[in-house]
Amino acid sequence: MVVLTIMWSTISFIFYTLIFMNKYFEGSLYLNFYLEGVAGFLGSILSLAVYKPIKMRWSFIISVTVTFVGLVGLLVFQQGYLSPIWIKYFLVQ
């Protein structure tokens, strides 16, 4: 029960932080929410594919880790501590 409470608290904190910070990201507010919706849809589809082979415990650990790393990345790039200019080299043109 304690582990589930910690996991629920972590996931809720990350989810509501992303929603709160969405209005402060660069670009259109509408575009940011659309991209968040697409990311949520893709995450739901991928979570089904990941859950079957590695089961619930590791699925939660991986999803919380990926979400937390993404949140920290967004905050670091948005505050200007790191420049996201290197990302353009990974994009297909």
CA angle 69, 73, 77 (to 5 degrees): 175
Q: Where are the domains of the chain?
A: 30-77
Query: Two tokens at 45?
Result: 């589809």
Question: CA 63, CA 83: separation in Å to the nearest integer?
Answer: 25
Question: CA 44, CA 48: separation in Å to the nearest integer?
Answer: 7
pLDDT value at position 15? Answer: 81
| Residue-by-residue pLDDT tens, the chain, 93 positions | 888 888 788 888 878 887 888 778 777 788 878 878 888 888 788 878 877 888 878 887 887 788 788 888 878 877 778 776 776 777 666
Question: CA 12, CA 16: separation in Å to the nearest integer?
Answer: 6
pLDDT value at position 84? Answer: 67
Query: Two tokens at 75?
Result: 């905050």
Whether the model pTM is above 0.85: no
